[in-house]
Amino acid sequence: MKRKVLITCALLLSFSAVFAYFADLNGNWKGTLVAPDGNEYPLAYTFKIDGDKLTGTGNSPQGSVDLTDGKVKSDSLSFAIDVNGVKVINSGKYFAEGDSISLSIDYQGYIMHSTLKRAADK
């Protein structure tokens, strides 16, 4: 009986640690995307983590758009945003040590990369 209780506690603590790890993703993140044509586009996201679900918004001077299909697993995250009717797939990896996110962005087959850094909360 003791063994079952210890195993259950260990599993709960493990899951709690994983969720706490990704709780650090909550908040505002900013970066810059350099497109293949050399133009630079500011990136700004507000992430909210609930279990393994990622929600939030992508913000630009034109307004904000909701994130869809958001997921977190281990140190990986993914989500989609709608850009003028085009579903843009974003996938990345969170680096707790540098408090940064390495992001790959798939826009109609063109893969671009950016690094997001934590921004001050609004």
pLDDT tens for residues 84-112? 899 999 999 999 988 999 999 999 999 99
Cα four-point dihedral sign 60, 29, 88, 50: negative
Contact 57, 66 (CB under 8 A): yes
Write the DSSP assignment of 5-29 as a string of letters.
Answer: HHHHHHHHHHHHHHHHHHHTT-EEE
pLDDT of res. 35: 87
pLDDT tens for residues 31-75? 999 988 999 999 999 999 999 999 999 998 778 999 999 999 989
pLDDT of res. 60: 83
**pTM: predicted TM-score of the whole model, two decimal places:** 0.77
Question: Which pLDDT band, with edges at 50, 70 and 90, does 9 fall under?
Answer: very low
Alpha-carbon distances of 91 from 10, 11, 48, 62, rounded to whole Å? 30, 28, 16, 23
For the chain, list the domains and their CATH numbers.
2-118 (2.40.128.120)
Residue identified by tokens 């001077």 is: 61
Residue identified by tokens 């990345």 is: 92
pLDDT of res. 36: 87
